[in-house]
Amino acid sequence: MILPNKVEPIKPNYHEDDAIALLEMHYDEWSKDEDWWDGGTTWDLNIFTTDDINYKVVIYGLTEIDESYCETDTSNEVDVFELKL
């Protein structure tokens, strides 16, 4: 196994309004999926169902693995909120 050269957390440039806008824009997608992911350039959003009408939204920070690759850092929760439809 080849280990990456560096692993650096990326400071999330996140605002709740950005997540709400993303959810509004992609409502038709995530409302039909039990576990949907998307995000910005410095954060990822995961929305999933907790029952038929409740959804949990978790915003995660990213980690830079190398200059050309970033991944979600699920140990870095930036924000959490719930939606009821």
5 or 37, greater pLDDT = 37
Tell me what pLDDT residue 12 has.
82
User: 6-64, pLDDT tens digit by residue?
Assistant: 567 788 889 999 999 999 999 999 999 999 999 988 999 999 998 878 999 999 999 98
Predicted TM-score (pTM) of the model is 0.84
Tell me what pLDDT residue 76 has.
92
| Domain ranges (residues) in the chain | 8-84
Tell me what pLDDT residue 43 has.
95
| Alpha carbons 70 and 3: distance in angstroms, whole number | 14
